[in-house]
């Protein structure tokens, strides 16, 4: 995928709340403005990368893009699971992410347990892959230190260089 690594940020909005309650795997949802701005070559599926809430630390993340076939959603969503235990919810905060790699397509599963097992496999794969030097260096990208507290102050799309925002929204 030529658009990877893909940098974006947006406010965390409420999803259906199933991630925390049913799966035990909380996810932070992006608004439709961020979802609708995805480049055409970023297909639906499961990605891994780095994420930062507001001006906090940068953590590993996994992200699902699509319609959650297990739940048959009607609206496409971008849901990030930050691989870190947070003390509190962070709805309304600005989430900055860089997607660096693709894991698999979204699938429906026969049971909730099978979906949870698949997501846990994704988390393990992300943890290993992100240790590669080319991925580790993105954790230090200026994009994360320039995180804003207001989505209105966010930069518009810019061209790619390693030290500037590639495609922030």
Q: Which residues are catalytic?
A: 79
**Euclidean distance between CA atoms 79 and 112, whole angstroms:** 17
Nearest residue to 18 via CA among 95, 90, 71: 71
CB nearer to ligand FMN: give 71 or 157. 71
Residue nearest to ligand FMN (CB): 15
**Euclidean distance between CA atoms 68 and 146, whole angstroms:** 32
Q: Which of 53, 62, 82, 99 is in the footprint of ligand FMN by CB under 6 A?
A: 62
Binding to ligand FMN by residue 7, rule CB under 6 A?
A: no
- SS percent in the chain: helix, strand, coil, step 5: 25, 25, 50
- Terminal C-alpha separation, the chain: 19
Nearest approach, Cβ of residue 83 and ligand FMN (Å):
10
Distances (CA, A) of 122 to 64, 127, 160: 10, 9, 28
C-beta separation of 168 from 9 below 8 A: yes
The token duo for 43 is 């297909």
CB nearer to ligand FMN: give 73 or 158. 73
CB nearer to ligand FMN: give 120 or 148. 120
Answer positive or negative: Cα dihedral of 17, 95, 5, 62.
Answer: negative
Give the footprint of ligand FMN on residues 71-130 (CB under 6 A): 71, 79, 81, 106-108, 115, 118-119, 122
Q: Which of 68, 130, 138, 141 is in the footprint of ligand FMN by CB under 6 A?
A: 68
Nearest approach, Cβ of residue 80 and ligand FMN (Å):
7
Q: Which of 69, 148, 151, 164 is in the footprint of ligand FMN by CB under 6 A?
A: 69
Give me the residues that bind ligand FMN (CB under 6 A), please. Answer: 15-19, 23, 27, 29, 46, 62, 64, 68-71, 79, 81, 106-108, 115, 118-119, 122
């Amino acid at each position: 995928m030529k658009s990877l690594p893909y940098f974006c940020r947006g406010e965390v909005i409420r999803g259906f709340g199933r991630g925390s309650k049913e799966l035990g795997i909380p996810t932070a949802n992006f608004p439709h403005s961020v979802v609708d701005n995805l480049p055409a070559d970023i297909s639906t599926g499961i990605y891994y990368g780095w994420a930062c809430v507001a001006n906090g630390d940068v953590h590993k993340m996994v992200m699902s893009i699509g319609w959650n076939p297990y739940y048959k959603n009607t609206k496409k969503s971008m849901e990030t699971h930050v691989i870190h235990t947070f003390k509190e919810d962070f709805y309304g905060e600005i989430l900055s992410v860089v997607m660096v790699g693709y894991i698999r397509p979204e699938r429906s599963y026969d049971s909730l347990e099978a979906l949870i097992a698949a997501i846990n496999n994704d988390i393990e794969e992300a943890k290993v892959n992100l240790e590669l030097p080319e991925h580790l260096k993105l954790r230090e990208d200026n994009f994360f230190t320039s995180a804003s507290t207001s989505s209105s102050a966010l930069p518009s799309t810019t061209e790619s260089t390693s030290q500037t925002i590639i495609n922030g929204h």
